[in-house]
Amino acid sequence: DNGDHPPADIRQWAAAQQTAWPRLRPEQHQLLTGIGITPRAETATGRRKTSRVYPLGPGMAHARTYATTHGHLACSKNTLHDDFPLGEWLVQKRRAARQGRLSTTTTHTLNTLDPWWNPPWNWTWQHTYQQARLHHSSQDHSPTLRRWTEQQRTRWNSLHPTQQHLLTTIGIHPG
């Protein structure tokens, strides 16, 4: 018996959990935290705490302006907004949200700007839906959007109920 310290194999396992923290699911984070294992400062974000690629303030300001102008945050990954890499910033925020690392304040603010900024379904679907919504009234659909619309009609039963609702708001119904 070594007194207060756990055996070496348990210490190694705990260290491995701390290293793997960014790749673990939120449920695993809760279980580990429950037994006293927390991420190391540098692994909580995947990098040292002092280096953030895009500061939150400017990113949120750009997200707010973009959402006000376009009515959504479903921009592509390479979208620049006033020379700020907004698309990449949003990709990072979605990743952090999926990993349970996004603050409740940031999550709430982004949800207020666009409730579907981080949908539970495929991101490409959300981006294409916004394009279809934009072109809905003009009926000026590209061949790609026409194909996508037809796929939604034929795959209706496999869509999330909220996706079905979003589609009906722009006049797309099961086929």
Per the structure, how many domains does the chain have? 2
Looking at the domain assignment, is residue 33 inside a domain?
no
Looking at the domain assignment, is residue 22 inside a domain?
no
Domain boundary among 113, 131, 161: 113
Structure tokens at 172: 């797309």
On whether the CB atoms of residues 89 and 62 are closer than 8 A, the answer is yes
| Gap between the Cα atoms of 60 and 69, Å rounded | 14
Query: Do residue 138 and residue 107 come from a single domain?
Result: no
Whole-angstrom CA distances from 76 to 5, 87, 169 are: 50, 6, 23
pLDDT at residue 46, as a whole number: 47
Structure tokens at 79: 């979208």
Query: Do residue 127 and residue 103 come from a single domain?
Result: no
Looking at the domain assignment, is residue 129 inside a domain?
yes
In sequence order, which residues have a C-beta less than 8 Å from that of residue 11 and are 6 or more positions away? Answer: 5
Looking at the domain assignment, is residue 17 inside a domain?
no
0.85 surpassed by pTM: no
Each residue's pLDDT expressed in tens, for the chain with a length of 175 residues: 555 677 877 777 877 788 777 777 777 777 887 888 888 765 444 444 433 444 457 899 999 999 999 999 999 999 999 999 999 999 999 999 988 899 888 999 999 999 999 998 888 899 899 989 888 766 666 888 889 999 999 999 999 999 999 999 999 999 7
Q: Which of 95, 94, 98, 85 is nearest to 58 (CA)?
A: 85
Looking at the domain assignment, is residue 25 inside a domain?
no
* Residue 64 belongs to domain spanning: 56-113
Query: Do residue 103 and residue 151 come from a single domain?
Result: no
Whole-angstrom CA distances from 131 to 6, 77, 85, 161 are: 56, 15, 20, 20
Domain boundary among 70, 95, 113: 113
Looking at the domain assignment, is residue 175 inside a domain?
no
Domain boundary among 76, 91, 113: 113
pLDDT at residue 41, as a whole number: 61
Query: Do residue 62 and residue 106 come from a single domain?
Result: yes
Element (H, E) at 8: helix 8-20
Looking at the domain assignment, is residue 42 inside a domain?
no
On whether the CB atoms of residues 65 and 120 are closer than 8 A, the answer is no
